[in-house]
Amino acid sequence: MTQLESIKKLRSETGLSMSLIKEALEKTRNYDEAKAYLHAYRQEDKHDQVGKKGMVVAKIDGDTAILYEVNAMTDFVTTHQAFKAFVHDLGELLINNPKTSLDALHGLKMGNSTVEDKRIQLETIIGEHVQISRFESVIKSPTQHFGMYQHFNHKSSTIVVLEGGSQDHADIIAKQVTAIGALHPVWEKTVIDQILASTLFGKDISVGTYLNDVQSSLLYTSRYELGETMTEHLSCSLLSKEACNIA
């Protein structure tokens, strides 16, 4: 392999700068040693720090819905095209692989590479550590309806499943879950019971009464808040275990 071929290959695999790759080859003299040198460089720099900024995203495609979170160090990443592209492509991959695990996800193909390779390349581009923190998928039946609420800055996202009613009704409940979740970070009742007992925003009736009026029932809800701990996570399901996957 010529030096130019080595540079191109290392650039493609690591996403690191040309100057750093040339420096690695000058110090090591061959591709394998240069790759090890660059790996050691990554382990020592700030990319290994963990952050709680980033994006949480909800996505629906047919009878499948997903929630997922990608973290970085600063709010800057939410305006960076490379970060947004990675989050978008990850969502497309997850919606087509809803039963995968968090560990297996990193080895899945994303374009001409793997998710893990793309993640590493992204770290170099934005100069921050990037972590796929969690994801959740749910599969509904044809008689059920998904509702989704996505906060404009991707700091909060919610998915609900209703039996009966319509998608419009489900979207209203998803927005309700997001709002009351922010007001009540500590849940003292069963999550669905507390949602049904809450007053529907903009209306003078409870959520339970509203759902009864539209002949619907709440079967599943999950809300992601950016950077939350699992003890703060709002989630409750009356669906079968086969319908849900939490990773």
SS3 label, residue 50: coil
pLDDT given at position 48: 46
Question: Per the structure block, which two tokens stand in for 29?
Answer: 């003299």
Note whether 136 and 67 are within 8 A (CB): yes
Strand order in the sheet with 156-164: 144-150, 156-164, 216-225, 234-237
Q: What percent of the chain has pLDDT over 70?
A: 82
- Cα 28 to Cα 38: distance, rounded to the nearest angstrom: 10
Q: What is the DSSP letter of 199?
A: B
Low-confidence ranges of the chain (pLDDT < 50): 46-48
Beta carbons within 10 angstroms of residue 92's beta carbon: 12
- Cα 32 to Cα 186: distance, rounded to the nearest angstrom: 52
Distances (CA, A) of 198 to 21, 156, 168, 209: 58, 19, 19, 10
The H or E element containing residue 233 is none
pLDDT given at position 239: 62
Q: What are phi and psi of 190, to 5 degrees?
A: -55, 135
Distances (CA, A) of 33 to 28, 78, 128: 6, 35, 25
pLDDT given at position 16: 66
The H or E element containing residue 232 is none
- Cα 121 to Cα 11: distance, rounded to the nearest angstrom: 9
Question: pTM to 2 decimals?
Answer: 0.77
SS3 label, residue 223: strand
